[in-house]
Amino acid sequence: MTEVPFSCACGKLNGTLSRATPSGGNHCKCLCDSCRAGAVYCKTPELAEGGLALFLTTPDRITITSGFDQLAPFSFGAKNIIRWQAKCCGVQMFSTPANPKMAMTSISTARLTDPAAIGPVRSRAFVPQPNGKTKHENIPAFIGTVARVLRARFTGRWKETPFFDSVTLEPTVTVTLISKEDRRALLAR
């Protein structure tokens, strides 16, 4: 089991990612507006240029060893992706769907001490097309992500998460909701 440490930018929040190998998740870049607005909110817009680099895995692979109290999740809507920020230094550490039974977690690859362990970026999501729409590149990589999520669901492994109470299904830290207007303002910057 390959374990790679992760850390927020200031070092208060630390932990390990297990199965940190190219086949243990999907190393992708997401070009969606939500990722970009999140990066501006976290005052790291440069990280979203050309897409926010993420490793998509399941939450049981994330172990937080110190600084859990620094986690400050925010979201652009009650049902939207929850972005887990480290309030000590402001960086985005993780993201999760609002429903913990969809056992998906991203860890920002910039937070890994050894990003080489997960190999190069394999896919891109929400890539703008000339017709104004967006599309995902390397669909099999995303199918792998869905398969991992489903496996975690059916084995009950989705309950092993630092981000949600597996009984109430509520996030373990209160999520700050950001209004549509504020999201628009973030994207206008």
Q: Which residues bind Zn ion (CB under 5 A)?
A: 8, 10, 12, 30, 32, 35, 86, 88-89
Residue 32 or 98 with smaller CB distance to Zn ion:
32
Q: Smallest distance, Å, CB 79 to Zn ion?
A: 15
Residue 88 or 175 with smaller CB distance to Zn ion:
88
Residue 66 or 155 with smaller CB distance to Zn ion:
66
Contacts of 82 (CB under 8 A, 6+ apart): 73, 74, 75, 95, 96, 97, 98, 163, 171, 175
CA distance 32 to 36: 6
Q: Smallest distance, Å, CB 91 to Zn ion?
A: 7
Q: Smallest distance, Å, CB 8 to Zn ion?
A: 3
78 torsion bin: left (phi>0), alpha (psi -120 to 50), beta (else): alpha
Name the token pair of 189. Answer: 């910057």
Residue 30 or 103 with smaller CB distance to Zn ion:
30
Contacts of 9 (CB under 8 A, 6+ apart): 86, 89, 90, 91, 111
Residue 40 or 86 with smaller CB distance to Zn ion:
86
Helices vs. strands in the chain: H and E counts, helices first: 3, 12
CB neighbour class for 87 (10 Å; exposed up to 12, middle 13-18, buried from 19): middle
DSSP reduced 3-state for 146 = helix
